[in-house]
Amino acid sequence: MARKVFKDIPVIDVHIRKFEKPDNFSLNVLMRKFCISMGLLQPGDGRDSIVDLLTLFYKAGRVKRYLTIEEVYKFMLGLEKSGTAQSNVRRNILRLKDLGFIDRTGNGYRIREWLSFHGLVSEFTKFKVEPVLERIKEYAKALDDSCK
């Protein structure tokens, strides 16, 4: 009889990091540290097109402007950086959607519900981080119960 293999596949995977307090950084440096802090980018990663993409959505969101996918492609390809292929842009848009940072509506893409970054992080914490912490507590309780 074949032995069943148990696979540890997480339901959700959340990475968060803490940096020093922000101090007189440029928008690009702040956005890069934000992306690394939220797990969108790895420390030392040179291919940081997601920083440019999130900056684009941030600037459009400040004036409540929707972006079409064509506008996003045109902007990203105009940067002439590595990692700006359309497939990479689509993948990064999907990552931002999955984290709840952007929405796709009938009018195009936008920062989720025109929220500020503070609001985005609050929503991320409520819907992504808190459920993970609750599940960890359930495992901790089960461990405590099994060790009695």
Summarised one tens digit per residue, pLDDT across range 33-76 is 999 999 999 888 877 889 999 999 999 999 999 999 999 999 98
Joined tokens for residue 108: 């195009």
User: Under a CB-based contact definition with an 8 Å cutoff, are residues 110 and 60 in contact?
Assistant: yes
Range of 75's domain? 27-114
Summarised one tens digit per residue, pLDDT across range 118-145 is 999 999 999 999 999 999 999 999 999 9
User: Under a CB-based contact definition with an 8 Å cutoff, are residues 72 and 110 in contact?
Assistant: no
Total number of domains constituting the chain: 2
Same domain? For 138 and 106 the reply is: no
Query: Does residue 37 belong to any structural domain of this protein?
Result: yes
CATH number at residue 46: 1.10.10
